[in-house]
Structure 1
C-alpha cells in the first residue's frame, strides 16, 4: 500500500538525497522544517552544506510546480510542503502545545493522519521525538537508508576446514585453490579437520580463486612493532599491500588499529618510498564536555585533538631506539622532513591527495557522506586507511549502525581494491583489555 512519509529536519540534514529514497510513496515536508533548514544554511560544516543542498533541490522543484500543491517525483510519489496553523497545535496533548519546532512538526504529521486515506509515517532521527510521536498515536520510524547492522558487520575473516594434505599443500606450493563464496582480500584461516592446532593463514585472491600467503613482516618488525596475534598479521598484510587502496580496521580500544596503521605507513613512506608522505587525520570531536575555544595558532589549537596520534608516533620512535636504532627523533622532526603530516579533516573538501598514505583515525565519528567526501579526495597512487571503534562514538548524529566507518566496510567488501579486518583481542595492556570487556 502506498504510504505518506512526513520528514523531520534532521533527516534532510543527514542526507539531502533522502527525498529520492522513498520509492513511489508520497512525502510531506512541514513548513517548520524549511525554517529550520534555513537557520543552518550559513554553517561552514557538513550540516550547513547539506542544508544548502536540500534548499537547492527544493528550489528546483519549486520552479516546475507549486510545492504547496504537490510536485511529482520521478519514481511516482508526490512531494508536498505542508503549512502549519495554530489550529493544528490543538490536536496535541496540553503538554506538547508549547510553540516549539518539534511540536509544530508533530502537529502537522498528526493532522495529516486525520485527513489522509493512506498510512502516515513520521520519519525522524531524533529518538525522543519518535517516542513523542508514538505517545500521540503516530507511527514513527528512523531514517535507515544508510544503516548497517553492527551485529552482522563483515569481519573480513573466515575459517575453512580442510584435510591435512590440503593444509600441507598450501605450505608446500605457496597457494591453495579454494572453492566457496569468499570476498576479495578476505583473510582466511585454513584449519585441519579434527586437528585445530594444524592451521595456516592466507588471503583470498578473488580473481584467481585461491588463497595466497600473507605479506610477511620482517624479523625486526615495522618500526619495532611486531604482530601479536593472527588478526594483527591479517591487518599488516592488508596495510603493506600497495595494490589495496582502501583498508578499514574496526576494533575495540587497545586492539592496535592506529598503531599498526601508522607503523605500516611509516614503513612504506620513510623506508620503502612507495608514497610521498604519511598523512594522519581525525575528526575533531571531544569525549564529554568540550573545553571551549583554545588559545594559540592552528598547531596549538589542534594539539589536544591530535595528541593520540603524537603518542603513537612517539611510541614507534621509542621502539626503534630501544632496538639499537638511531637517536630518538620526535614527531616534529618527521614533520620537518616532510615524511609526516598531521591535520584535521575540516579543510579536506576540494583537495586532491595524490601518492600519499592517508590514515583517518576515529572514523566512526564520521557520517557516510563525510567518508565519501574523504575517499573521493584520493588521487592517483593514494592509499586510505580508516580506523575506529563503532561502540565509542562521540558524534551525536550517528550511531553504531549508521556511521561512515561501518557503512564503508559493508559497501566495499566485494571490491578487489579494498580490504577489511575486525580486531577483537586487546594488546594495549591487561588492564585496558579487562576494561574494554567489563565496562
Structure 2
C-alpha cells in the first residue's frame, strides 16, 4: 500500500541538511518536561501518540508523573498556541533555543495518518501493538523522506532503542541533557587524597587571618580540581578544608584527623574518617545543603538524624525536623492507606524509627524516649508529593532515598527550603528502582556535580559500611 495522501501533500517541508531532527519519546518529556529547550537550533518532532500518552498520564493518581505530564503539555502549548495547523506540522520556532543563528523548531507529527509502505520498514502500529511502534515509525518515516538529514529517536526506553535500531533507524539515543558525567566513578566525593606529602607539591604559600581563623593561601595549580568545602589530606599528617577559592588562589583551613574524630552529635561519634568529615559539614553554619552519598549501611541517615536532634534539642537552631523519602509507588498507594499523612508514610519511613532506636537503644525505656524525642523535636514525616508548593522556614529537612529522583523533582523539593532552614539530601546510587534512571542520569548525581561549586553546599561520599560485616559482604559481593 502507498502511504496516506495526507502525508504526501507536503505538510512537512524538507529540512536543511545541517539541521538535525530529534523525535522525542513520551518518557523524555516525563523525565524532563523542559527537554524542548535542550536541542539548540535543531528540529524537534513530537508524534501525536506522545501527546495522547501525555493526555492519559496527566490524569493519573501518581501526582509526580501527572504533574510532569501537565507541565510538558503546558510548555508545548506555549510554543504552538498562536501557530496555524500547517505551521505546527511544519515546525514552530522555539523561543530562546539559541543565542545566535537560526532558532530551533518544534513540530507535531500526525502519526495516525501513517499507513503501510512497502518501501519503508514500518513496525506494526495497530491498536493491539505498543505505542512505541507508532513513535518509532515516525522516525523511520522522517529518515526515509530526508535521507541526507540526521534523524534521531530520543528515548529512555532501552528496549525501544533496540527495536528502533533493528528496524533500520540509523540514529537512536538516550536523553543525555541531564547527564553531567560520562563515568560515575568521577562523581565528586567531597574529599581528595594527595599521595605523598602535600606541601612538597606547593610552590608558594601565604598565611592570612580572617576573623578568628588562620588560612593558608596556595596557588590553584596546587589543587586544580578543588571546590568549596572540599576536604584534602595526604599520606602524612596534613589535613585541610577548602574555605573558598578566587581566580588564582585556594584558601585552606588546616585541621587534624583527631579533632574531627572527636565530634559528637546526640551521643553519636564517627566510626571512620568519612563519617567525621560528614559530621563536620553537617555542623558547619555556612553550609545550607549537605548531600551525602554512599552504600547501604554507611550511616548516612543515622548521621543526618543525629545532627538534626542535636541542632534542635541541644542548640535550638531549628523549630522542626522534617523527614521525607522518595518512594516511587507512594503516589498511588498512600491514598488507600488509613490515617493521617504521617501514619500513611509510616511503612516507608520505618528506617528513621530504626535509627531512633539505635540512638536511644541504651535508654531505660527506648520506646518512651523515642516518643518523647519525636514530640520535643517536632519530627514530621512528609511525602515528597505534598512538599511541593510549600515553603519550609526554620526547619531541618532530610530527604532520603533521593537516587530515584530526577533533577527536575529534586529542584522542586530544594526550592521549597525557606529562611533559616537547612536540607540534607541522602542517596545510594547503587539502589535505583526507577527504570528510566541510571546512576549517570539520576537527579542525585546531577545535584552533586552542580552544587559542588556552590559556596554554601557540602558534598560527602561515605564509603565504609558500618552496619554489619554481613551488610558489607552483601553490598560488595551480591
Match of 2:177 among 124, 145, 161: 145
Contact 1:175 1:211 in 2 (8 A): yes
Q: Is the 8 A contact 2:20 2:151 kept in 1?
A: yes
| 1:163 CA displacement | 4.5
The answer as to whether partners of 2:345 and 2:381 remain within 8 angstroms in 1 is no
User: Please, which of 52, 60, 83 is the counterpart of residue 70 of structure 2?
Assistant: 52
Aligned equivalents of 1:72, 1:176: Cα separation in 2? 53
Q: Which moved more, 1:78-87 or 1:113-122?
A: 78-87
1:276-291 matched pairs, under 5 angstroms: 276-285=319-328
1:211-360 to structure 2, matched below 5 A, reads 211-213=253-255, 221-285=264-328, 293-319=336-362, 321=363, 329-360=368-399
Offset of 1:174 from its aligned partner?
A: 6.3
Q: Which residue of 1 aligns with 2:108?
A: 81
Mark the runs of 5 or more structure 1 residues left unpaired by the alignment: none
CA distance in 2, matches of 1:222, 1:299: 26
In the alignment, is residue 17 of structure 1 matched against residue 34 of structure 2? yes
Structure 2 length-normalised TM: 0.82
Tell me the alpha carbon deviations over residues 6-35 of structure 1, each in whole angstroms, 9 at most, x when there is no partner: 111111121121111101111111111111
1:134 match: secondary structure: helix
CA-to-aligned-CA distance 1:180-213 (integer Å, 9 cap, x gap) = 3310000111x2xxxx3x3232311115712343
TM-score normalised by the chain length of structure 1: 0.89
- SS of corresponding position for 2:22: strand
217, 223, 228: which is aligned to 1:184?
228
SS state of the match for residue 81, structure 1? strand
Q: 1:13-70 deviations in whole A, cap 9, x for unaligned?
A: 2112111110111111111111111111223522212221222222222233231232
Secondary structure of 1:353's partner? coil
Contact persistence 1:11–1:123 (CA under 8 A): yes
- State the Cα distance separating 1:331 from its structure 2 match: 3.0
Residue 199 of structure 1: SS of its match in structure 2? Answer: coil
Conservation of the 8 A alpha-carbon contact between 2:116 and 2:122: no
- Rounded Cα–Cα distance in structure 2 between residues aligned with 1:25 and 1:220: 54
Query: Which of the numbers 408, 419, 437 marks the counterpart of 2:458?
Result: 419
2:423 is equivalent to residue 384 of structure 1:
yes
Give yes or no for contact 1:280–1:341 (8 Å, CA) kept in 2.
yes
Flag the 1:343–1:59 CA change in 2: closer, same or farther, 3 A.
closer
Q: Secondary structure at the match of 1:346?
A: helix
Distance in 2 separating the partners of 1:162 and 1:62: 58
Moved more, 369-378 or 58-67: 58-67
Q: 1:301 to 1:214 in 2, by over 3 A?
A: farther
Instruction: State the distance in 1 between where 2:116 and 2:106 align.
Output: 20
Q: Distance in 1 between matches of 2:123 and 2:275?
A: 58
3-state secondary structure, aligned to 2:280: helix
Aligned position for 2:243:
205
Structure 1 residue 219: Cα displacement: 5.3
| Number of the residue aligned with 2:12 | none
Kept after mapping to 2: 8 A contact 1:25/1:78: yes
Structure-2 separation of matches of 1:283 and 1:188: 32
Pairwise CA distance, 1:415: 0.8
Alpha-carbon contact 2:237-2:256 (below 8 Å) kept:
no
Q: Deviations over 1:275-333 (max 9, x none)?
A: 1122111122369xx899544554433221010011111211225x38xxx97644332
Alpha-carbon distance in 2 for matches of 1:220, 1:349? 35
Describe the SS at the equivalent of 2:237. strand
Q: Between Structure 1 and Structure 2, how many residues are aligned?
A: 423
Q: CA deviation at 1:96?
A: 6.7
Does the 8 A contact of 1:286 with 1:394 survive in 2? Answer: no
Q: Which residue of 2 aligns with 1:127?
A: 158
Q: 1:382, 1:107 → 2: CA distance?
A: 50
- C-alpha displacement at 1:242, in angstroms? 1.8
Q: CA, structure 1 residues 39+236, in 2 after alignment: closer, same or farther (shift >3 Å)?
A: same
- How far apart, in 1, do the equivalents of 2:286 and 2:260 lie? 17
Structure 1 stretch 264-273 or stretch 299-308: which is displaced more? 299-308
Q: Give the Cα separation in 2 of the matches to 1:130 and 1:148.
A: 21
